[in-house]
Amino acid sequence: MAVDQLSTTFAALADPTRRAILERLADGEATVNELARPFPVTVQAVSKHLKVLEHAGLVTRGRAAQWRPARLRGLPLQDAAGWLARYREFFEASFDRLDDHLRALQAERDG
């Protein structure tokens, strides 16, 4: 698991405006101006937030001149949602093997 990526993802998600931007992008790509409209912040501030989200790999920016529409990138989010679920699977699987191991040990002792 890319731990650093995960930390960056969570840090990016720590801000309510950035989460709102992501929710907006879940409906489709948008330019900075479009994104700024519903928020009580400046276009510059939204631009900064987008840079953080881009750095975290949560958003990609188009190359179309100054519009550079932002697009949601799902993979890091799915990682964030699933990382502890994967740990759970990991432990469940290990404990199945521990059970087998303990049974084998007991059988050796008794046999």
Partner 1 sequence: MADTPVDREFTITRVFEAPRELVWKAWIEPEQVARWFGPRGFTTPRSTITMDVRPGGTFELTMIDDADHRNYPSGGTFLDVDEPERLVWRDRDIDLLVTITFVDLGGRTEMTCHVVGRTGGAQAYDGWSTMFEKLAASLD
How far apart CA 29 and CA 99 sit, in angstroms, is: 50
Binding site for partner 1 (CB under 8 A): 1, 3, 6-7, 10-11, 13-14, 16, 19, 22-23, 26, 72, 74, 77-78, 80-84, 87-103, 105-106
Residue 43 vs 77, nearer CB to partner 1: 77
User: CB 100 → partner 1: shortest distance, Å?
Assistant: 7
Residue 57 vs 67, nearer CB to partner 1: 57
Residue 62 vs 87, nearer CB to partner 1: 87
* DSSP-assigned states of every residue in the chain: --HHHHHHHHHHHTSHHHHHHHHHHTT--B-HHHHHTTSSS-HHHHHHHHHHHHHTTSEEE--STTT--EEE--HHHHHHHHHHHHHHHHHHHHHHHHHHHHHHHHHHHH-
User: CB 66 → partner 1: shortest distance, Å?
Assistant: 27
Residue 66 vs 78, nearer CB to partner 1: 78
